[in-house]
Amino acid sequence: MNWYELTTQETLKQTNSNAQTGLSETIAQQRLKKYGENQLTEQKQSGWLIVFFKQFQDFMVMVLLVATCIAAYLGEVIDAVVILIIVLINSLLGFFQERKAEKSLAKLREMATPIAHVLRDGKWTNIPSQEVVVGDIVKVKSGDRIVADLRILSGVQLTVEESALTGESLPVEKKSDAIKADQLSLGDQHNMAFMGSLVSTGHGVGVVVATGMQTMVGQIADLIVKAPTQKTPLEKRLQHLGKVLIVISIALTALVVLAGVWRGHPPYQMFLAGISLAVAVIPEGLPAIVTVVLSLGVQRMIKRKAIVRKLSAVETLGSTTVICSDKTGTLTENKMTVVELYVDQQSIDVSGGYSVSGQFTNKNKAALPNGLAKLLSYGTLCSNARWQEGTDGHVIDGDPTEAAILMAATKFDQNLVERNGLRRIYEVPFDSNRKRMTVVMQDEHQQHIAIVKGAPDILLDRIRSIELSGRAQPFDQVQRKRIEDQIQKMANQAYRTIAVCIKPVRASVTANHEELESGLTFLGLIGIMDPPRAEAKQAIEQCKKAGIKTVMITGDHASTARAIAQQLDLMPRSGKVLTGHDLTVLSDEELINQVEETYVFARVTPKDKLRIVQALQQNGHVVAMTGDGINDAPALKVSDIGISMGVTGTDVAKEASELILLDDNFSTIVGAVEEGRNIYENIRKFIRYLLSANTGEILVMLFAMVFALPLPLLPVQILWVNLVTDGLPALALGLDKSEKDLMEQPPRPVKEGVFARGLGFKIISRGLLIGMVTFVAFLFAYQNGQQSLEYARTIAFGTLVMAQLIHVFDCRNPRSIFDRHPFGNKYLIMAVLSSVLLLCAVVYWSPLQPLFYTVSLSLKDWLGIILLSSIPTLVFSFTKR
CA-wise closest residue to 561 among 573, 552, 551, 569: 552
* Cβ neighbours around 82 below 10 Å, total: 22
Burial of 77 (0-12, 13-18, 19+ CB in 10 A): exposed
Smallest gap from Cβ 435 to ligand ATP, in A, equals 4
* Cβ nearer to ligand ATP, comparing 326 with 739: 326
Smallest gap from Cβ 411 to ligand ATP, in A, equals 19
* Cβ nearer to ligand ATP, comparing 452 with 709: 452
Smallest gap from Cβ 528 to ligand ATP, in A, equals 8
* Cβ neighbours around 305 below 10 Å, total: 17
For residue 551, the SS3 value is strand
Smallest gap from Cβ 197 to ligand ATP, in A, equals 25
631/659 Cα distance (integer angstroms)? 17
Smallest gap from Cβ 656 to ligand ATP, in A, equals 16
* Cβ nearer to ligand ATP, comparing 625 with 679: 625
Smallest gap from Cβ 375 to ligand ATP, in A, equals 14
* Cβ nearer to ligand ATP, comparing 4 with 601: 601
DSSP secondary structure string for all residues of 732-783? HHTTPPPPGGGGGSPPPPTT--TTTTTHHHHHHHHHHHHHHHHHHHHHHHHH
DSSP secondary structure string for all residues of 212-236? GGGSHHHHTGGG-PPPPPPPPHHHH
* Cβ nearer to ligand ATP, comparing 399 with 658: 399
Q: Catalytic annotation on 640?
A: no
Calculate the CA dihedral of residues 875, 695, 87, 253 and round it to 10 degrees: -150
* Alpha carbon 403 to chain centroid, angstroms: 29
* Cβ nearer to ligand ATP, comparing 184 with 458: 458
C-beta pairs of 512-515 under 8 Å, 24+ apart in sequence: 513/428, 513/438
65/83 Cα distance (integer angstroms)? 8
446/159 Cα distance (integer angstroms)? 28
Smallest gap from Cβ 431 to ligand ATP, in A, equals 8
* Cβ nearer to ligand ATP, comparing 136 with 399: 399
* Cβ neighbours around 506 below 10 Å, total: 10
**CB of 857 closer than 8 Å to CB of 843:** yes
* Cβ nearer to ligand ATP, comparing 318 with 379: 379
805/131 Cα distance (integer angstroms)? 51
Which residues sit at the interface with ligand ATP, rule CB under 6 A?
A: 326-328, 399, 401-402, 430, 432, 435-437, 453-455, 496-498, 554-557
CA-wise closest residue to 869 among 690, 693, 709: 693
Sign for the pseudo-dihedral over CA of 468, 469, 473, 476 = negative
Task: Report the run of H or E that residue 807 belongs to, with start and end.
Answer: helix 789-810
* Cβ nearer to ligand ATP, comparing 632 with 810: 632
513/775 Cα distance (integer angstroms)? 86
Give the pairing of strands 322-326 and 549-553: parallel
**CB of 301 closer than 8 Å to CB of 673:** no
Smallest gap from Cβ 381 to ligand ATP, in A, equals 12
Sign for the pseudo-dihedral over CA of 490, 361, 452, 633 = positive
Sign for the pseudo-dihedral over CA of 401, 405, 411, 416 = negative
Residue 8's contacts (CB-CB under 8 Å, 6 or more residues apart) are 19, 151, 153, 176, 178, 207
Smallest gap from Cβ 111 to ligand ATP, in A, equals 24
* Cβ nearer to ligand ATP, comparing 15 with 497: 497
Adjacent-strand bridge partners of 502: 451, 521
Would residue 75 be called left, alpha or beta, if left means φ above 0 and alpha means ψ between -120 and 50 degrees?
left
* Cβ nearer to ligand ATP, comparing 542 with 559: 559
Smallest gap from Cβ 467 to ligand ATP, in A, equals 19
* Cβ nearer to ligand ATP, comparing 315 with 326: 326
For residue 678, the SS3 value is helix
Smallest gap from Cβ 400 to ligand ATP, in A, equals 8
Smallest gap from Cβ 64 to ligand ATP, in A, equals 59
Smallest gap from Cβ 333 to ligand ATP, in A, equals 12
| Orientation angle between helical segments 859-869 and 871-879, nearest 10 degrees | 30
733/729 Cα distance (integer angstroms)? 6
Report the residue closest to ligand ATP, judged by CB: 555
* Cβ nearer to ligand ATP, comparing 206 with 555: 555
284/51 Cα distance (integer angstroms)? 16
Would residue 684 be called left, alpha or beta, if left means φ above 0 and alpha means ψ between -120 and 50 degrees?
alpha
CA-wise closest residue to 427 among 436, 438, 435, 441: 438
Q: Say which of 326, 530, 640, 861 is annotated catalytic.
A: 326
* Cβ neighbours around 187 below 10 Å, total: 13
Task: Report the run of H or E that residue 675 belongs to, with start and end.
Answer: helix 666-706
**CB of 165 closer than 8 Å to CB of 217:** yes
Calculate the CA dihedral of residues 347, 353, 359, 361 and round it to 10 degrees: -20
Known catalytic residues are 326
